[in-house]
Amino acid sequence: MIGTDINKDFCHWLAHIKMSRLVILVFAMLIFIPLIMHFYLSKVERSSISISSNSHFDISEDLNFIQDFDVKDGVEELIRIRGSVLSELRDMEQKRQKLLVEIQGYTKNIEELKQEIFHLQTNLNRLKISVEQAQVAQKEAVQQNTPDLALPKKLTANFFPEKLPSIPKHLSRNCKMFSCFDHSRCSLTSGFPVYLYDPDQHPVMNYGWDVDGFLKTTLKQTLGYNPHLTSKPEEACVYLVLVGEALRDTGDVSDNVGNQLNLPPLDSTALKRLPFWGGDGRNHVLLNLARRDLTAGSGDIFSNVDTGRAILVQSTFMWHQFRPGFDLIVSPVLGPPGGDVWQECPFMVPSRRKYLLTFQGEMKTNHKSPSTPNYAPDDSDLAKETQELDKFVLEHLKDLQKTNTSDKFLFEFECVLASDDNVNAAPHDWALCGTDSSRRSVLKESTYALIFAPGSPDLITTTLLQARIYEALRSAAIPVVLGGDQVTLAYNEVIQWRRVAIFLPKARITELHFLLRAIPDEDVLLFRRQGRLVWEKYLASVQSTLDTIVAVLRNRLNIPALPAETFTAVSVFNDTFQPIQVPVAVDTEQEESLGPLEPPYNSPAYRRNYSLPLTQGAEMWNDWGDPFRLYAALPMDPVLPSDAKFIGSGRGFRPIGQGSGGAGKEFSESLGGNNPREQFTVLLLTYEREQVLIDSIARLRGLPYLNSVVVVWNSPRPPNAELRWPDIGIPVHVIKAARNSLNNRFLPLDILQTEAILSVDDDAHLRHDEILFGFRVWREHRSRIVGFPGRYHALDVNTKNTWLYNSNYSCELSMVLTGAAFLHRHYLHLYWKWLPQAIRDKVDEYMNCEDIAMNFLVSHVTRQPPVKVTSRWTFRCPGCPQSLSEDDTHFQERHKCINFFSQVFGYTPLLNTQYRADSILFKTRIPHDKQKCFKFI
């Protein structure tokens, strides 16, 4: 019992120790327990030995043993051990923390090394692709057996025309280009030089006749702007002679004894005295340009005059006189000398106007004969049949006006106020009624304008007929030529008049109303739009008339036009001001190989100098409306079929997987597509945001397919001399603008060497993969604007007839802003040389809207909407200085721009689209061993 009590006391003591030192024992349990047990067992062992040595022991000896146990020393020992353990634990924790930091550092280094390995691998892949592409290019260069074409080298004649005997008149009546034209003076590379005889120094009119002074002055002035004009007659291909419009300046002319002389206007002897006539007049062009005399039979001053082998150009021809393919029918020059003519044209919509069909004119039957020499009315049976048919036509038209129909007609067959131009109208021909302004007001309300063929069957064309065509097209009324099987219109060898006017034989007059009603609104607007193009380009002014005459003659000889003018790029740097260039790192955000890194490769240029007029001549004259200049390349250039790049025409092509196709890896190695390899140029406009500009240029480092960067410095203040320009591995040109204008964004600079132009704001932030994706999409839509920020024009629901500019998110758009968009270099030329000056003036006035103007232009030419790529809708530039678009008046000005541009164009050419381009395989689940075309697009 005593032993039991002792054990209980001992346990109570231990419990007391545990309770007071619970915290210490918890942390030190694993260490203390072995030590205590060892110590205790040692004591027990010694006690056992002591007890075994005595056969008897008593309780007092055990109590002494307990008392001998030094509790205090044990506790102190435990405390000492605890302190030692805690110290070791602190050391171990410090070591552990240190090890953790080291582990984190190593982990970070491992990740950095992995990233570096990845980037090095990506760069290595790029270099491998670049080497492979370079090897292919070298192989193509070795196998090349045809040289690259460049601008035509001028090769002209250097001698005056040799004097030859004149040819008989009956032979000259049968002149053709092969028989009466000297082609040896007009080589393919001559540039078609044209020489103009000064009408004051070389008059060819008889005494008493004179050439209209306005025409003389205007012709010399406007022809001076034509690039084909030369002052060296020995190198000329053709010689222009102004012979009309012939006007009497002194009344009747008498000889020395007072006898009146009835001299013709043109002096054939004076023609033969021209210094370069060469005896027979070959390569001479006689211009009889009517301006005021619009009588039906007027304008022919070449009758009974020996003109030799000269080409006749006028508005009036008889059937027996006109030599197809040699002589040229032109429109009278009724417009201003030149300049903008947009104010002359009304809106092309609505398609249906107040009147379905109108006519204002009067048939002359009892007036004196026209001023044409030796004119005699035709009394043949054919002429009588024509007169009877005309009477039938008149009766039907009068009945048509009385019919019960919702269509309105306006026919005036008796003039209340006759035009002053009709005093010499020929018998059985139509004369104009009223003044020019009164006729125009009626035509602006007419869907169709009725035009009669000449009353005499011997006439193929008259000045009056051509003038009526001019007036109808100017007012956007569709010409309906009654007797269209009899006449030939101006420049018929190049202009497709059946896309402009409706030709109907007189015998089918009863079908007229049915035919006009059968034409839907879409085709009405096609007729009207085509008529607007023809009128603006070829008829509207003296300048356009002369340029068209020269272009038609050049077109006959298949001589290419002269190259389009470019703006000379003047660098802001010079010998005393050189940029400081610093290297920049490759974009570390790039996580995929996007293409080879190549040296600059310029787009092939002027490859179709001589074949373009042959293969696409009709489109050049009737669709693009610009046969006057030669361009390095066109967005409408044809493409080869898919198999041609593998059979005989593979030079320059880079098919994906060498033709076998492939996913992301093979896709990134080659451009593929339907066109040969090419690069693009970044065209960047900036104004006094130097650091923003520098950052934008630096981000282009390592961008595949980038040819060069062209910065248009729009500020009058030069860049800071201390500015550090990034060296991105390709040329960066900083061009000084003549003045601060947003139109400078589209300067057709001579240093732009690629067809693809990336027009971008200096604060736009695009990833490399976005840029390259846009470039690849543009290559399949070369005639359109392809880019990122989409906008649209919305109807003003309050007015119902005006437009609003809208930048809200929308399921359809009509514009892609050129702050980040690809477009073809050709449109830069059109912006400056074709777009009406009034639009560029409006851009300067508002310092706004140049991007809207470019969208109007491209949609007008192509009749297609732009292409938006990826989900980008707007752009942000944190920390950038305030831009023009943040001004409160920005949107108000853009509303006004859209409506003003629509007025200039005559309609709103913008088209809506609900289409957006995203990458192939973007949302496609593909095998693990394949990769997408673009990872994030």
Strand partners, 355: 446
- Across the chain, how many H-helices and E-strands are there? 23, 30
For residues 313 and 548, what is the distance between their CA atoms, to the nearest angstrom? 12
How many other C-beta atoms lie within 10 A of the C-beta of residue 641? 9
- Candidates 878, 872, 882; CA nearest to 807 is 872
Contacts of residue 233, defined as CB under 8 A and 6 or more positions apart, other chains included, come to 160, 195, 239, 275, 276
Phi, psi angle pair for 695, to nearest 5°: -65, -40
Residues 352-391 as b or e (16 or more Cβ within 10 Å = b): ebebbbbbbbbbbeeeeebbbbebeebeeeebeebbeebe
Q: What is the 3-state secondary structure (H, E, C) of 51-110?
A: HHCCCCCCHHHHHHHHHHCCHHHHHHHHHHHHHHHHHHHHHHHHHHHHHHHHHHHHHHHH
User: How would you class 268 by CB atoms within 10 Å of its CB: exposed for 0-12, middle for 13-18, buried for 19 or more?
Assistant: middle
Question: 68, 280, 851, 887: which one is catalytic?
Answer: 851
Contacts of residue 827, defined as CB under 8 A and 6 or more positions apart, other chains included, come to 635, 746, 854, 857, 858, 861
Contacts of residue 373, defined as CB under 8 A and 6 or more positions apart, other chains included, come to 264, 265, 301, 303, 304
User: Residue 350: is the preceding peptide bond cis (ω within 30°)?
Assistant: yes
What is the β-pairing status of strands 580-583 and 724-727? parallel
- Cβ-contact 823, 853 below 8 angstroms: no
- Cβ-contact 317, 290 below 8 angstroms: no
Q: In 538-685, which ranges are continuous DSSP H helix?
A: 542-556, 612-615, 617-622, 664-669
For residues 536 and 546, what is the distance between their CA atoms, to the nearest angstrom? 13
What is the β-pairing status of strands 459-461 and 317-318? antiparallel
Residue 361, SS3 per DSSP: strand
* Structure tokens, 887: 């001004």
**Distance set, CA 620 to CA 489, 537, 559, 781, 830 (Å):** 19, 12, 14, 19, 14
User: Tokens 């491992």 sit at which residue?
Assistant: 110
CA angle 765-131-584, nearest 5°?
Answer: 35
For residues 175 and 405, what is the distance between their CA atoms, to the nearest angstrom? 52
- Cβ-contact 815, 793 below 8 angstroms: yes
Question: Which one-letter amino acid corresponds to residue 931?
Answer: Q
Phi, psi angle pair for 868, to nearest 5°: -95, 135
In DSSP notation, 177-205 reads: HHHH--GGG--TTS---EEE--TTTS--B
- Cβ-contact 702, 586 below 8 angstroms: yes
Task: Please give the DSSP secondary-structure letter assigned to residue 167.
Answer: P
Q: At what angle do helices 521-534 and 463-474 cross, to 10 degrees?
A: 120
How many other C-beta atoms lie within 10 A of the C-beta of residue 156? 18
Phi, psi angle pair for 16, to nearest 5°: -65, -40
- Concerning whether 851 is annotated as a catalytic residue, the answer is yes
| C-alpha 704 chain-centroid distance | 23
For residues 158 and 139, what is the distance between their CA atoms, to the nearest angstrom? 43
Just list the catalytic residues. 851
